[in-house]
Amino acid sequence: MLEKENDLGELYREIILDHYRSPRGHKHVDHPDIVNKGQNPVCGDEIEMHVRMREDVIEDLGVYCTGCAISVASGSMLAEVAKGKSISELKTIAGAIKQMLTTGETDGSVKLSELSDLEVLEGVRDFPVRIKCALLAWVTLVEGLEQYQNGEPEPRVSSTEAGESSPEK
Amino acid sequence: MSAPNTVVAKDKMRGTPASGFDPETLRADFPILSRKVNGHPLVYLDNAATTQKPQAVIDALSGYYSTHNANVHRGIHTLAEEATAAYEATRDEVARWVGGVKREQIVFTRGATESINLVASSWGEKNLHKGDGILLTQMEHHANLVPWLQVARKTGAEIAYIPITPEGLLDLGVLDSLLADGRVRLVALTHVSNVLGTVNPVAEIVGKARKHGAVTLVDGAQAVPHQDVDIPEIGADFYVFSAHKMLGPTGVGVLYGRERLLDEMEPYQTGGEMIRLVTYEEATWDDLPHKFEAGTPNIAGVAAFAAALRYLRALGMDAVRAHERKLTAKLLAELDTLPWVTVFGPKNPDVHAGVVSFEVEGVHPHDLAQFLDSVGVAIRAGHHCAQPLTRLLGRTATARASIYIYNTTEDIERLVEAVQQAKQYFSGS
């Protein structure tokens, strides 16, 4: 087995630390259509999103995350990007981020470099246990949007662990 | 191998010599400690998760496979006899180590977790009934919590918890009232907390529990590696621990049990190695301890565990505890000078083993652990398999540094320095 060296600066790029220290989107949203919580059982990261929709477009959203720098920064970037985008656009972006983090490539349908600071999440790829931290906000948003589309009224707790989503107790 | 049913003489050497040892010298016995991590010399402070292995244990493992390997208890050939002798010799060593008990009372398992599951299944599910009480503590590792949740679910027994004080000690003021109604049939608790480092007064608690007619189990996974433990003195009916947390190989656990209870219990698993007579219609069980050791055990691991015990005996467990106490006191004192650090668990190193959980304001434990790793310092971050306790502390995760024989004052200094660097890195000031 090779001894591997980790470059901390790849994971915690200055932009990530900036989002962590002053997260965007940490604000109140009037009359949210979607309230969804997410958690990352491995780390204990917790996120809550309040989203107001106008038809299938996000009109406004608030993101409240307590967790590590990666999960907080990822939620903060999501808050910058998501406003004004449609459900299908956001699902495509979430898919591209997941693909980038797990395979290192994207199919080209989305240019992450053109979307706020999302590209810097690429550095997380070399730190496998932290990938779930980076995905938490996106998993939580997509599940919230799907519940909205399916007309599920009940808030749920999304999880980065497959099969762990459950109605909130 | 000693004769069956004789108490193996107590290991008098275990607690001595108390003259101490030089951790710098013994580091040379641990090959892994000379490797670099991310370009820095390794500072290994995750010993509560597992300890590193001295060359003597690595050699014993590989020596077993290169010269003695065979299956145990059934072969009529030289190798099988040697393998059986090595395996059973460790059982005698362990029986001596834990205070001089019968070899029949020592069952080898995969680890402390399996030892507890064995008791939960073979004793708990048969002897606990609807309305019976199970008394645990709020500081249990999942290993001594989840098996009892399962037993409660299956039997209808009810679980209560001895609470902890704000300082992280068991609140023994309520113990009498928890035991008073006589419904508690089992008291199961940890000897040393794997999160708070609290050393619990297990002999006192076991004594009270037994007076009320309860069976007792003590989880010694964080105790036996670090201090002199005498099970008969504690008086527990069951006592469990793991080899890999005390220099030994992974995949070896110990269950000590009171002979009468072990005798009454049904096997945990069935199959080869644990039978006396099998027909197409039925089977009878072998004597203790083999009744509880179905299938081919971890022979190499058990054989090499003896080398770990020999290594610790040469140091002396009182000296081990004194060394860890010194480093724990230093770590607690240094963290205390940092106003943005919160330490969980007792402030007094006399009742605080070498497990120190803490929090750095503004730095998530996972970011802290990641930063420390980048400078070669290995600690644990997370819930430490004690989610209810972590939640009780009002956290989702904590950072934990845990000490062993090869840690030095320099290790503690490097940890504290790196914690200060991490604070600066993440808070940006």
CATH, domain range B60-313: 3.40.640.10
Q: Of the candidates A3, A49, A42, which has an alpha carbon nearest to the alpha carbon of residue A23?
A: A49
End-to-end CA distance of chain A: 44
Q: How many residues does chain A have?
A: 169
Residues of B in contact with A133 (CB under 8 A): 366
Put simply, the answer to whether A69 touches B364 (Cβ < 8 Å) is yes
Q: Is the Cβ of A133 closer than 8 Å to some Cβ of chain B?
A: yes
Q: Is B240 helix (H, G, I), strand (E, B) or coil?
A: strand
Any idea where the domains of chain A sit in the sequence?
A: 8-152
**pLDDT value of residue A166:** 44
pLDDT category at B413 given cuts 50, 70, 90 is very high
Q: What percent of chain B has pLDDT over 70?
A: 95
**Distance (Å, whole) CA A52 – CA A47:** 17
Query: Given a cut of 90, is residue B220 above it in pLDDT?
Result: yes
CATH class as words, domain B23-41+316-427: alpha beta
Question: Which alpha helices (DSSP H) does chain A contain, by range?
Answer: 8-11, 14-21, 69-82, 87-103, 131-150
Burial class (CB in 10 A: 0-12, 13-18, 19+), A107: exposed
Q: What's the burial of B171, exposed, middle or buried (CB within 10 Å: 0-12/13-18/19+)?
A: middle
Q: Which residues make beta-bridge pairs with B357?
A: B344, B400
Average pLDDT over residues B212-218: 97
Q: Which of B73-82, B125-134, B311-320, B331-340 has the lowest mean pLDDT?
A: B73-82
pLDDT exceeds 90 at position A152: no
Q: Give the whole-angstrom CA distance, residue B180 versus residue B253.
A: 34
**Per the residue annotation, which of B159, B378, B385, B392 is the catalytic one?**
B385
Q: Between these two residues, B50 and A165, which has the higher pLDDT value?
A: B50
Cβ <8 Å between A6 and B38: yes
pLDDT at B177 over 70: yes
Preceding omega of B17 cis (within 30 degrees of 0): yes
What's the pLDDT score for residue B155?
98
Tokens of B358: 């803490």
Question: How many interchain CB pairs under 8 A, A with B?
Answer: 52
Token reading at B190 = 């940890």
Pairwise pLDDT comparison (A128 vs B191), residue with the higher score:
B191
A20 interfacial to chain B (CB closer than 8 Å): yes
d(CA B244, CA A26): 45
Pairing of strands A166-167, B215-219: unpaired
Confidence of residue B75 (pLDDT cuts 50, 70, 90): confident
pLDDT in tens, A62-107: 999 999 999 999 999 999 999 999 999 999 999 999 999 988 877 7
Pairing type for strands B238-242 and B215-219 reads parallel
The predicted-structure confidence for A4-14, as pLDDT tens digits, reads as follows 667 888 889 99
Per-residue pLDDT, averaged over B338-359, amounts to: 97
Q: How many whole angstroms separate alpha carbon A144 and alpha carbon A54?
A: 15
Predicted pLDDT of residue A107: 73
Predicted pLDDT at A168:
39
Contact between B370 and A8 using a beta-carbon 8 Å cutoff: yes
Q: Model confidence over B103-143: pLDDT tens digits?
A: 999 999 999 999 999 999 999 999 999 999 999 999 999 99
User: Where does residue A2 rank: exposed (0-12), middle (13-18), buried (19+ CB within 10 A)?
Assistant: exposed
Band of residue A44 on the pLDDT scale cut at 50, 70, 90 = confident
pLDDT, residue B383, reads 86
Please say if B385 is a catalytic residue: yes
With pLDDT > 90 as the criterion, what percentage of chain B qualifies?
91
Give residue limits of the domains in chain B: 23-41+316-427, 60-313
Q: Are strands B283-285 and A57-66 parallel, antiparallel or unpaired?
A: unpaired
The reply to whether A44 touches chain B by the CB within 8 Å rule is yes
Residue B307 pLDDT exceeds 90: yes
Distance, in angstroms, between A44 CA and closest chain B CA?
Answer: 5
Asked if A73 is an interface residue toward chain B (Cβ–Cβ < 8 A), one would say no
Task: Output the pLDDT for position B7.
Answer: 66
> pLDDT tens across A129-148, in order?
899 999 999 999 999 999 99
Confidence of residue A108 (pLDDT cuts 50, 70, 90): confident
Q: What average pLDDT does chain A have?
A: 86
Q: How confident is the model at residue B19 (pLDDT cuts 50, 70, 90)?
A: low
Give the whole-number percent of chain A exceeding pLDDT 70. 89
Mean pLDDT, rounded, for A148-152: 87
pLDDT at A167: 42
Q: Work out the pLDDT band at B1, boundaries 50, 70, 90.
A: low
- Beta-bridge mates of residue B40: B37
CA B345, CA B355: separation in Å to the nearest integer? 9
Q: Which of A155-164, B176-185, B324-333, B385-394 has the lowest mean pLDDT?
A: A155-164
Cα A168 vs. chain centroid, distance in angstroms?
20
In this structure, which CATH number among 2.60.120.10, 1.10.3720.10, 3.90.650.10, 3.90.1010.10 belongs to the domain A8-152?
3.90.1010.10
Indicate the average pLDDT of chain B.
95
SS3 content of chain B, % helix, strand, coil (to 5): 45, 20, 40
